[in-house]
Amino acid sequence: MNIVILAAGQGQRMRSALPKVMQILAGKPMLQYVLETALTVSPKTKPVVVIGHGAPLVSQFIAHFAEQNKATSKLSANISTVLQAQQKGTGHALLQALPKLNLSEPTLVLYGDVPLISPVTLRRLIKLADGVAKQDSALALLTQKMADSKGYGRIVRNSADEVIAIIEEKDASPQQQAIQEINTGMMVLPSQHLKRWLKALHVSNAQGEYYLTDVIAMAVKDGVPIRTTQTINAWESIGVNDRAQLAALERITQREIASNLLANGVSLADPARLDVRGKLSCGQDVFIDIGCLFEGNVSLAAGVKVGPNCVLRNSQVGKRVVLQAFSHLDGATISDDCIIGPYARLRPGANLANDVHIGNFVEVKNSQLGSHSKANHLAYVGDAVVGKRVNIGAGTITCNYDGINKHQTIIEDDVFIGSDTQLVAPVRVGRGATLGAGTTLTKDAPANQLTVSRAKQVSVAWQRPEKKMLVKKKLSSKGKK
């Protein structure tokens, strides 16, 4: 079979510099959903994407997607593109793809701006088109009953309930506009007629475009059977033409993601207050409080508790870890039983072993912390290797940057670092060493000793000055008559 994805339109109603099919839905461009679905439905088919508006950006994305796909999945990474230099309508778009199709096989048409269509629905549609022999396959149309059919093409049926045409809203009479059955855009076409049908399209309609939908009436004339089926879920057929529809579809997508998480045993304090823009995998009995955002690839192992308003991006979290409110993780790897936050910030390369505690206003970047180590308050740990059972006092800072280069700090096992210490990297603190509060460490600290750098404490007799009394000037009576 052939698959053509129409993705050349500008999407004027979005009022955006970005081509419409590149608009982001739950962290991914809309076109990516359609590509993934196409490859799932028919892994052996090389889909043809019709690109046009913003073609360089769209084709760059397709190449990147194909490359990534090759590396991470079994799906075919073969995707071809064809340029529709001027966007003259959906029929004209399909015509551009014609040279790339095998006309002895049916053609499935998908729309880059209808992202949530499911493989299950499409398989049903493909099956519906099957004829006794390949040559007499039918035209299968995916339609949908919508209470508010505004903006969609309407399905026109005769008194025998047979489909006879699709009328675009702008061309429809008031009676036709009242029709609730809409064209989702997706259809399976008998390809042997395509050349003739598409060449016969004209632009005498309200939008002055070559409408693909006009092939329906041609099929009727040619005696090609037209069969219709509906989507499994009504939201699968929602098209995105403006930002309000994109926002509505975002909520639907998030609701679906939340339902899947719940079905897989994840507890959500409120399924409506969670956003996943990427892939979130969860072990058993994970709890996620309100207002959390997950981006990229995030995994939470069994028993993890995520407090309210946390942001996690591309991070792995071990078993029973507690992330307290307002913690921010980006590119972090956290082993079992750690306690993080509230208000902790773990940046790329933060790698915590078991039972590490990272408290409020502590930032960790490109650093390893050994098991049972703690940095509970107000600290910056950057480019450091920290051993086991280390205590990092409040206000400790690794001074890793000299203005030009980054340097490493090494803190060995069982070190105790007093509050408000600056470790001027590169520097090493030996095993079991203690650093006195307020130390500015510029040289290595030997193991098992107390190292302290601070001005000697002195006390002198001292009289605190007293406040001078101001003499108030009397206002002269002259000025006020």
Among 19, 52, 106, 239, binds Ca ion (CB under 5 A): 239
Instruction: Choose one: 6-14, 215-223, 260-268, 291-299; the region binding ligand UD1 (CB under 6 A).
Output: 6-14
Asked if residues 355 and 337 have their Cβ atoms less than 8 Å apart, the reply is: yes
112 contacts ligand UD1 (rule: CB under 6 A)? yes
Tell which residue, 101, 47, 33, 119, has the closest CA to residue 76: 47
Among 113, 168, 330, 363, binds Ca ion (CB under 5 A): 113
Report how far residue 116's alpha carbon sits from residue 43's, in angstroms, rounded to the nearest whole number: 18
Number of residues that bind ligand UD1 (CB under 6 A): 32
152 contacts ligand UD1 (rule: CB under 6 A)? yes
Among 41, 117, 141, 212, binds ligand UD1 (CB under 6 A): 212
Residue 87 near which of Ca ion, ligand UD1, none (CB within 5-8 Å, type-dependent): ligand UD1
Q: How far is the CB of 214 from ligand UD1 (least distance, A)?
A: 8
Q: Which of 64, 357, 377, 407 is catalytic?
A: 377
122 contacts ligand UD1 (rule: CB under 6 A)? no
Chain positions 24 to 63 lying near ligand UD1, rule: CB under 6 A, are 50, 52
Q: How far is the CB of 242 from Ca ion (least distance, A)?
A: 10
Residue 92 near which of ligand UD1, Ca ion, none (CB within 5-8 Å, type-dependent): ligand UD1
Q: Tokens standing for 38?
A: 């196409």
185 contacts ligand UD1 (rule: CB under 6 A)? yes
Sign of CA dihedral 13, 18, 22, 26: negative
283 contacts ligand UD1 (rule: CB under 6 A)? no
Q: Tokens standing for 32?
A: 């990516």
Q: How far is the CB of 242 from ligand UD1 (least distance, A)?
A: 10
Report how far residue 302's alpha carbon sits from residue 318's, in angstroms, rounded to the nearest whole number: 8
Among 33, 61, 65, 211, binds ligand UD1 (CB under 6 A): 211
Burial grade of 101 (CB within 10 A; 0-12, 13-18, 19 or more) = buried
Asked if residues 110 and 186 have their Cβ atoms less than 8 Å apart, the reply is: yes
337 contacts Ca ion (rule: CB under 5 A)? no
Report how far residue 114's alpha carbon sits from residue 119's, in angstroms, rounded to the nearest whole number: 13
Residue 337 near which of ligand UD1, Ca ion, none (CB within 5-8 Å, type-dependent): none
381 contacts ligand UD1 (rule: CB under 6 A)? no
228 contacts ligand UD1 (rule: CB under 6 A)? no
209 contacts Ca ion (rule: CB under 5 A)? no
Instruction: Choose one: 40-48, 111-119, 308-316, 404-412; the region binding ligand UD1 (CB under 6 A).
Output: 111-119
Question: How many of the other CB atoms lie within 10 Å of CB of 444?
Answer: 14
Residue entry with tokens 């493989």: 119
294 contacts ligand UD1 (rule: CB under 6 A)? no
Question: How many of the other CB atoms lie within 10 Å of CB of 450?
Answer: 13
End-to-end CA distance of the chain: 102
Query: Is residue 218 left, alpha or beta, with left meaning phi > 0 and alpha meaning psi from -120 to 50?
Result: alpha
Is 377 annotated in the active site?
yes
Sign of CA dihedral 28, 29, 31, 32: negative
22 contacts ligand UD1 (rule: CB under 6 A)? no
What stretch of H or E contains 59?
helix 55-72
- Three-state DSSP string of 64-104: HHHHHHHHHCCCCCCCEEEECCCCCCHHHHHHHHHHHCCCC
359 contacts ligand UD1 (rule: CB under 6 A)? no
Instruction: Choose one: 72-80, 113-121, 353-361, 396-404; the region binding Ca ion (CB under 5 A).
Output: 113-121
Q: How far is the CB of 238 from ligand UD1 (least distance, A)?
A: 8
Question: How many of the other CB atoms lie within 10 Å of CB of 402?
Answer: 11
Residue 166 near which of ligand UD1, Ca ion, none (CB within 5-8 Å, type-dependent): ligand UD1
Residue entry with tokens 């632009």: 203
Active-site amino acid positions? 377
Interface contacts to Ca ion, rule CB under 5 A: 113, 239, 241
Interface contacts to ligand UD1, rule CB under 6 A: 6-9, 20-21, 50, 52, 84, 87-90, 92-93, 111-114, 152-153, 166, 168, 182-185, 211-213, 239, 241
